[in-house]
Chain A
Amino acid sequence: MKADAALQRELPEVLRTPELTVGPVTPGSLDDQVLKFPAQKPPRAWYIGFAISASVMTLGLSLIGYTIFTGIGVWGNNSPVFWAFDIINFVFWVGIGHAGTLISAILFLFRKRWRNAIARFAEAMTIFAVMCAGIFPLIHVGRPWLAFWLFPYPNQRALWTNFRSPLLWDVFAVSTYFSVSAMFWFLGLVPDIASMRDRTKNKILKPIYTVLSLGWRGAASHWQHYEKAYLLLAGLATGLVLSVHSVVSFDFAVSLVPGWHMTIFPPYFVTGAIFAGFAMVVIVLVVVREVMDLKNLITDYHLEVMNKVILGMSCLMGYSYFMEGFTAWYSMNEYLHSSFMNLITGTYAWAGWLTISCNVLIPQILWFKKARTSYFWMLLVAMAVTVGMWFERFCIIVISLHKDYLPSSWHLYKPTLVDLGILLGSFGLFFTLVMLFARVLPVIATTEVKAILPGGQPTHQGGGHE
C-alpha cells in the first residue's frame, strides 16, 4: 500500500489518479472544512497576529503621514540616489504579486490541477501585494497631492501627460494589473460566496453574501458563463504576468543609468517577480495549512511543486546575474563595467553578494527532495529569497545610482529610520490584509477543488461517458 502511494507520487501528474488531496475528501466535507472559518470565531493566535501586523501597519501609515507632511527629505534619498527604498519597495511588492497571477492564470491555462487548491490564496496575495506596491509611487513623489497629474485626464489647462515616460507606462500597467487581478479574484469567489450565503444563518452576513454572490444559483448556464469568463480573464491576466514587470523594468532599462540600461531587464524582472512571489506564497501557505488545519487540501505535494518552481527560477536568476556580468564585460562599456564592479566589489558589495547568495546559492538546496518537503529548508529558502529579492532591487537601484557617470557627483546612500519604518509598515499592511482575508473569505476555492476530487471529473476508468 505504501509502495503504491509512493509510486503514485513519482508518476507525472497527468498519469496520476487525480488525488491532489489526502485522505477522504468529499464535496460536503470540503465545504464544511473550508467554509467554516468565516462563520466561527478565530483562534487566539489570529488575534495576536492581527494585533501585531495592524500595529506595524499603523506605524508605517503614521510615518507615511509624517513624510507627506514634512517632505521626502525625511528619507535617506539624496543626489544622486534620487530613488531608494521608495522604488525598491514598489518593485518588490509588485514582484510578490506575480506568483498569484501566475498560479491562478497561467497554470490554469496549462491545466495544472494542483494550482486549484492554492490559487485563491495566491491571488489574494497578488491583490494585497499590488496594494502595498501602489502606495509607494504615490508617496514617493515630491508633491503627492498632485500625483493625479500622472493620469491623462482632460483639464482646462490643456496639459497632457508624456507618453514617452516609462513612469506613465507604469501607471497604466499597475492599475490595469490591479483591476484585472481583482476582477479575476472576485469572479472566482462568486460560487464560493454563494455557498456561504446558503450556509450562513447570520442575519448580517447573509444579505452581504447575497449581494456579493451576484445571484449565483449554480445553474448550468451560470457555470457555462462562469467558465468562459474565467478562461477569458485568465487569458488576460496571463499577458499581464509578463507585461507588468516588463513595464516596471522599463523604468530602469529605458533610462541611461549604467546598470539600468540593459536589454535583459524585462525577462530578468519577470523571472525575479515570479521567484519572489512563489517564495512568499510558500511562507504564507505553510502557516495557513498548519494554523487552519488544511493539510489534507494543501498537501506536501503542493509545496514540493512550488519549491521546484522556486528552484527553476533561482537558476534563471543565476543566469540573469551572470548575463549582467557578461554584458558588462562584453560590451566594453566602461560605465557599465564599473557599475558591475561596484556590485561585487564596491561599498555595497555586501548587498550584491547577499543577493547572489540568497537568490542563487541557498535555493540550490531544493535539488534535494528532502529539502523540498522539509518545512525547515523550504522556509529557510523562501525567507532567503524574500530577503534576497528585496536586496536585488536595492542593488539595481542604489548601487547603480550612487556611482554613475561623473565621479564628482558620486555619493553614498544611507536609509533613515523612516525608510525602515515604512518598509516594515508595508509588511504590516500586507499581513493585516492577508489575515482579514483568511478571516472573512474562503481561503481555498471549494468549487475548483471539488473539480479535482476523485470523481469530480469524467474519467475513463470511472466509465462516466462510455
Chain B
Amino acid sequence: MDETLKTRIKAHLDQEPPRHWRSLEERELTAEARAAGWHEFAPGASEPMEVPEEGLSRRRFLGLVGATAALAATAACSKVERGTIVPYTKRPVEVIPGVANYYASAFSEGSRVYSVLVKTREGRPIHLTGNDENPASLGKTSPRAMADILRLYDADRLRAPRMNDLPASWDSIATVMMKTLGAAKRNGRPVLLMTGAVPSPSRRAVIADFKEFLPTLEHVAWEPVEGLSQQAAVASYGAAVGISPKVDRAKVILSFGADILNGEDPLAIAGFAAGRRPSKPGEPMNRLWVFEGAMSLTGASADHRVPLKPSKLAAAAFALARDLNATHGVALPPGVDGAALPARPAEVPESLWKALLADLKAAGKTSLVLCGAQMPTEAHQAVHLLNEMLGTRGTTLDVTPAEKLASPADLMALTQGMASGKYDLVILWGVNPAYANVGGAAFAAALGKVPTSAWIGVLPDETAALCKIQISENHWLESWGDYDCGAGTVALQQPAVGTIYDTAQGEEVLLHWMKTLGSLLPADYHAYLKDRWQEKVYSAGTPVAFERYFEAALHDGYVQLPAAAPSALAFQGGAVKEAASRAAAAGGSGFELLLQPSATVYDGRYANNGWLQELPDPVTKVTWCNPVSVSVADAQKLGVTDGDHVKVSLGSASVEVPVVRQPGQAEGVLVLALGYGRTVGSVASGVGVNAYPFLDASGASSAVRSSAQVTRTLVSAALPITQGHHKMEGRDIVRTLTLAEYAQEAGKAEKKEELITLYPEQQFPDHKWGMAIDLSACVGCSGCVVACQSENNVPVVGPEQVTKGREMHWIRIDRYYEGDPANPKVAHQPMLCQQCDDAPCENVCPVNATNHSPDGLNQMVYNRCVGTRYCANNCPYKVRRFNFLEFTAFEKQPETLVHNPEVTVRPRGVMEKCTFCVQRINDARVRAKGEKRPLRDGEIVPACAAACPAEAIVFGDLKDPKSRVSELSRSDRGYKVLAELGIRPAITYLAGLKNPAEGGTHEG
C-alpha cells in the first residue's frame, strides 16, 4: 500500500461520519450548533446541581436558593429542643473547643496525698489520672481519687453559705464570726478548730497563722479511721510515725492484716507487680506472706496466706521475732528479751513457719513486714520489732515523723469539753464527727450546746446539719494548695475549674476571718500560697525567677526538694515485754469483730458518690451496702447464707445487717465495713448500716473487738452483688501457675485446634488493636473499673438494678475461689469486651448495629441498635450491657457536666460495651495524622490501662510485631479465654504466677 493511500484512508477515517442535520445551524457546523446538538434541552436546563467554580446561571442560582430555603425550613421544623450555643466572644486562653486540656493538681484523702492530672474539656474537669511526672504517683492514682471528680458535680453540694438554716451572705457570716472570734480572743476563751489530717504545708501555715492571731485556738486534726495505730508508734518510737513501704525493693513481703494492695496506695501495687512478672522462667519474683483475719486483696495475691484472728496476729509476729532470734540468730534490739516473747500460735502450720523464718532470714534487709492500720496496738509493736530486727528501715521501709491525729479517746474528751461549755465557738472543717465517730450521738448532742458552731465543707453531712453556720467550700478541683508527698516531693494543687457555686476554699475563709481580727495576710489563698512558696520553697539560689519557678511547678504539679535526712527515731525495746504479754493473752469469747474502712466509700466521706457505691467491693463483690462477712464455717454453724439478715451486737451497740459468706476469712471473725449508714445525702442516706458505734473509744485496739454476738433474724433479701458464683467449675478461665510449674510448662506451647469458620477471614489493613492482661500483676484493685466509668459515661443504676443483675460496668473484675473454703486460692481476672475477630455478637444482630471495624474493633452503633439483646445472649463473656431502663436521660446539670463529650450517652433500650476507648484511639490517630507520622506504640492508652497501677493491662497494635502488646501476646504464659469457641478474642491473658516457698505447702 503506498503512502498516499494510507494518508487518504487515515483522512477518511478522521473525517466526521456523515449525519443528518437537525437545524441549519448544525448543518453549518458551528461549535455552538454542535454543542446544542448534544443537548436535548435549552442551555442550563439540564445542568447538574453543583456550584461551578465561577459564575452561576440565573436558573441554577434560583434553584440553589430554593433548595436552601426548603432545607432550612425543614431543619427548622424539628421539635428537638436546642440549647443556646453562644460562641466565646473572648476565648479563654488555652481553651480550644473540642480539645482537652490537662492540669496537674493534687488532693489528699486523710494524710495520703494523690498527685493527679485533671483532664478538662471546655473548662470542665471530666477525668482524673495520676500525675505521671511526680515520682510520688508515677501516673497512677487510687479508684477513690478518680471517682472523687463526681463530688465536684454532686447535686447535693452546698451551693452558698447558710446561717441558722437560711441562706446568708459572706459578709453577714464574717460579721458574726468577727464578733465571736473577737470575744473569744478578748476573753481568752478556747476556740476549737477541728480538721482532717493536714498534709498540706501551706494549710498548716494558715492554721498556725490563725493560732497566732487567736492564741486560744485549739486545733485538732482527726481522721475517723487513720491514727488508730499511732498509739503503737508512740510506744515503739516515742512519736507518731508514718511508715511508707517501698514495696518495689522488697523480696519478701510479710503482712499482718495490712491490705497494701487495696488500691489506696498505687505505688505499693506498682512495686509489688513489678516483682511479679517474669518474662521467662527463672527470673526472680518477690514472695508475699499474709497473716490476716479478713480476706483482703493482699491476701488474695499472697503466695502463702494464713487465716488468723486479728487478735492473734500480735502473738504470731512476736513469735516470729522470737524464733528468728532463737533459731536463725537474728539479733533482738536492745531492751528486748527473747524469752518474754510468745511461741508460735498453733494455727500456723510448722512447715510454713519454718519456711517463713528461712525466707525472712535470707531476705534480711530486703524483706518488708507490714501491719494493717486497724490491727491491735501490740501487732503494730511486734511488726515494728520485726522490721528493726531485719533492718528494713532505710531499704524497704521509711519511718518518718507524722502528724499527731486525734484518737477516739481524744475525741471523747473533746466531746465532753464541748458538752461542759468549754468552747464558745467550734469550727469544723471537712470533718464529720457527728457520724464517723464512736461517740457520734454524744458529739451531736454536745455540738448543740456550743453557742456558735461553724462548718466548712463541700457536701452537707450529719455534722453540717447541726451547725449554725454552714460555709460552702470549694471542691479541691476548684482550689489552690500544696501537699507534702514525702521524700522531699511537694505536690502543687491548682484549680482546674472556676468555682461553680458561691463557694470559697477553707483556707480562704480562715484568712478572711483573720483579717477581721486584724491580720495583714492576704485574704486570697492563691497569693498566700505563692508568698509562702517564695519564702519557704523557692530557694534564693535557683537560677530562674520565682514566677517562672512557680509556673513550672504548676505545670509539673510538683517540685522536688532535697529529701529530709532519715529520721533518727530510735526503736524503744522497753515496751515490747508488756505488749508481748498482752498479745499472748489477747482474744476473748464470742466472735471477734473487725471494723475496717470500706474499700469503696472509705470512712463514709465518699458515701454520696454513686460510682463508688456501685463499685463492687473488690473481695466480696457486693455493692451499695456493708454486709457482715462471716467465714464459711461460721455461716454453716449459724445456719445463715448470703443475704440472710443477722443482728450483730456488742455491748450497747447493735445493727441488723445482711450476711455475706467469705471464703478464707478466719473462723470466729466477723468483718464489717465502716462508712455506711449515713443519714444525710441523697445517695448516701439509707445505704448500709453505721458501724462506727462498734469502735472502742478507750481500748488500744479500737477496730478489733471481741465478744460480738450474732443472732439470726427472719429477714432475708438478695444482695446487690455483681458476682454470685465464685467457683471456676474446673473451667480453663483463669490460669495460675507456680513458678515451678511455669518452668515446666514454658515452651510447651499448647496447640489447640483452631475451629474453621464459615465466614471469610477478617482483614485488617492498617492496625489490629489488641490487649494483653497480665494476671500475675493484676491484684484486683478495680481502679480500671472506675476509670472506665469516668471515661465512658457509664451510668450508675442503683442497688435494685444491681440486685437484678443489670449493672453497667464495661469492665469488671471477676474473682474466683478455688480449693478449701477455709483458705482458698483466689484469682482475679479483668473481664471486658474481647473484641473477637469472629465475634459471635456480630452475626446475630439483625440490624447490623454491632459490626467489625477494619482495625479489629468490634464496634457498637448505638443509634442503630433496636435492643433485641441477642448479641448479649451470644456473648460468651457476658460483657455486653443493656440499658434496661432510662439510666441517663433524666440526669440534669450539674451531674451531666462530668460526662466525657467524646462518648455518646446511651438511651434506654440500647446495648453498650467496651470500645477499647475508641475515642482515645481516634484522638491519637488524628494527632498522628496532623503531625504526619505513624502512630507510635504506647501512644494510645485506654482508660483502664492508664489507671492500672500494676501496669497489668497493655494495649496496642497486634499487627506491629514489635509492639509491647504483640510481645506480651506471644508470651509463653499467654492464653485466650474460651479460645475453644473459635471466636478469636483480641485479648491475651498472661497466666498468673505464684511463688510459694520451698518446704511450705502452697496455702493460697
CA–CA, A67 to B907, complex, Å?
15
Contact B843 A162 (CB under 8 A): yes
Contact A334 B869 (CB under 8 A): no
Q: Which of A71, A76, A146 contacts B804 (CB 8 A)?
A: A76
Shortest distance between the CB of B340 and any CB in chain A (Å): 49
Q: Which of A78, A81, A141, A334 contacts B867 (CB 8 A)?
A: A141
Query: Known contacts being A77-B884, A143-B867, is A405 close to B877, with CB within 8 Å?
Result: yes
Which residues of B (822-871) have their CB < 8 Å from a CB of A?
A: 829, 831, 840, 843-848, 864-870
Q: Point out which of A73, A79, A83, A161 has the most chain B C-beta atoms below 10 A from its C-beta.
A: A79
- B736 in the interface (beta carbon within 8 A): no
CA–CA, A83 to B882, complex, Å?
12
Q: Which residues of B contact A254 (CB under 8 A)?
A: 844
Q: Which residues of A contact B812 (CB under 8 A)?
A: 408
User: Quick one: CB contact mask for A65-98 with B, threshold 8 Å, 1 for yes?
Assistant: 0000011111011111111000000000000000
Q: Which of B69-77, B720-728, B745-753 contacts A (4 or more CB under 8 A)?
A: B720-728
Which residues of B (350-387) have their CB < 8 Å from a CB of A?
A: none
CA–CA, A159 to B864, complex, Å?
9
CA–CA, A403 to B815, complex, Å?
16
Q: Which residues of A contact B731 (CB under 8 A)?
A: 334-335, 405-407
- B729 in the interface (beta carbon within 8 A): yes
Query: Known contacts being A79-B805, A79-B806, A80-B878, is A167 close to B885, with CB within 8 Å?
Result: no
Q: Which of B727, B844, B884 contacts A71 (CB 8 A)?
A: B884
Query: Known contacts being A70-B885, A408-B815, is A80 close to B909, with CB within 8 Å?
Result: no
* Nearest CB in chain A to that of B843: its residue: A164
Q: Which residues of A contact B983 (CB under 8 A)?
A: 256
CA–CA, A251 to B805, complex, Å?
23
Contact B733 A406 (CB under 8 A): yes
- B232 in the interface (beta carbon within 8 A): no
Q: Which of A70, A74, A77, A406 contacts B877 (CB 8 A)?
A: A406
Q: Which of B847, B881, B884, B885 contacts A162 (CB 8 A)?
A: B847
CA–CA, A150 to B864, complex, Å?
11
Query: Known contacts being A142-B883, A161-B848, A255-B840, is A404 close to B878, with CB within 8 Å?
Result: yes
* Nearest CB in chain B to that of A140: its residue: B868
Query: Known contacts being A79-B881, A162-B847, is A142 close to B727, with CB within 8 Å?
Result: no
Contact A143 B846 (CB under 8 A): no
User: Quick one: CB contact mask for A234-273 with B, threshold 8 Å, 1 for yes?
Assistant: 0000000000000000010011110000000000000000
Q: Which of A81, A142, A335, A411 contacts B909 (CB 8 A)?
A: A142
- B939 in the interface (beta carbon within 8 A): no
- B25 in the interface (beta carbon within 8 A): no
Contact B869 A256 (CB under 8 A): no
Contact A408 B723 (CB under 8 A): yes
Q: Which of A149, A160, A335 contacts B866 (CB 8 A)?
A: A149
CA–CA, A70 to B883, complex, Å?
12
Shortest distance between the CB of B729 and any CB in chain A (Å): 5
Query: Known contacts being A162-B848, A167-B870, A405-B877, is A73 close to B885, with CB within 8 Å?
Result: yes
- A409 in the interface (beta carbon within 8 A): yes
- A401 in the interface (beta carbon within 8 A): yes
Query: Known contacts being A257-B873, A406-B878, is A78 close to B864, with CB within 8 Å?
Result: no
Q: Which residues of B contact A257 (CB under 8 A)?
A: 873-874
Shortest distance between the CB of A152 and any CB in chain B (Å): 10
Shortest distance between the CB of A450 and any CB in chain B (Å): 46
- A208 in the interface (beta carbon within 8 A): no
- B876 in the interface (beta carbon within 8 A): yes
Q: Which residues of B contact A334 (CB under 8 A)?
A: 730-731
Q: Which residues of A contact B977 (CB under 8 A)?
A: 406
Contact B815 A161 (CB under 8 A): no
CA–CA, A306 to B297, complex, Å?
64
Contact B846 A168 (CB under 8 A): yes
Q: Which residues of A contact B874 (CB under 8 A)?
A: 255-257
CA–CA, A78 to B724, complex, Å?
14
CA–CA, A232 to B730, complex, Å?
56
Q: Which residues of A contact B845 (CB under 8 A)?
A: 162, 165, 167
- A305 in the interface (beta carbon within 8 A): no
Q: Which residues of B contact A71 (CB under 8 A)?
A: 883-886, 908-909
CA–CA, A162 to B812, complex, Å?
30
- A223 in the interface (beta carbon within 8 A): no
Shortest distance between the CB of A432 and any CB in chain B (Å): 28
Shortest distance between the CB of A150 and any CB in chain B (Å): 5
Contact B727 A407 (CB under 8 A): yes
Q: Point out which of A80, A142, A143 has the most chain B C-beta atoms below 10 A from its C-beta.
A: A142
Contact B978 A338 (CB under 8 A): no
Shortest distance between the CB of A399 and any CB in chain B (Å): 13
- A47 in the interface (beta carbon within 8 A): no
* Nearest CB in chain A to that of B758: its residue: A164
Q: Which residues of A contact B881 (CB under 8 A)?
A: 79
Q: Which residues of A contact B880 (CB under 8 A)?
A: 79
Shortest distance between the CB of B983 and any CB in chain A (Å): 8
- B264 in the interface (beta carbon within 8 A): no
* Nearest CB in chain A to that of B870: its residue: A167
CA–CA, A251 to B843, complex, Å?
12
CA–CA, A143 to B882, complex, Å?
12
* Nearest CB in chain A to that of B803: its residue: A78
- B669 in the interface (beta carbon within 8 A): no
Q: Which residues of A contact B907 (CB under 8 A)?
A: 143
Q: Which residues of B contact A73 (CB under 8 A)?
A: 801, 806, 884-885, 908
Q: Which residues of B contact A165 (CB under 8 A)?
A: 843-846, 870
CA–CA, A147 to B873, complex, Å?
19
Q: Which residues of B contact A335 (CB under 8 A)?
A: 731
- A18 in the interface (beta carbon within 8 A): no
- B580 in the interface (beta carbon within 8 A): no
- A171 in the interface (beta carbon within 8 A): yes
* Nearest CB in chain A to that of B804: its residue: A78
User: Quick one: CB contact mask for A141-158 with B, threshold 8 Å, 1 for yes?
Assistant: 111001101100000000
Top 7 A-B pairs ranked by shortest CB distance?
Answer: A142-B867, A142-B909, A73-B884, A73-B885, A78-B805, A409-B878, A408-B814
Chosen A-B contacts, 28 in total, with CB atoms closer than 8 Å, are A71-B883, A71-B885, A73-B801, A73-B885, A74-B885, A77-B869, A78-B804, A78-B805, A143-B865, A143-B907, A143-B910, A161-B848, A162-B843, A162-B847, A165-B843, A165-B844, A165-B845, A165-B846, A166-B844, A168-B846, A251-B870, A256-B874, A405-B876, A405-B877, A406-B978, A407-B728, A409-B878, A411-B805
- A143-B865, A406-B733 known; 16 new pairs, CB 8 Å cut-off, are A73-B801, A78-B806, A78-B884, A80-B878, A82-B882, A83-B870, A140-B868, A150-B847, A167-B870, A254-B844, A255-B840, A256-B840, A256-B874, A408-B829, A408-B831, A409-B878
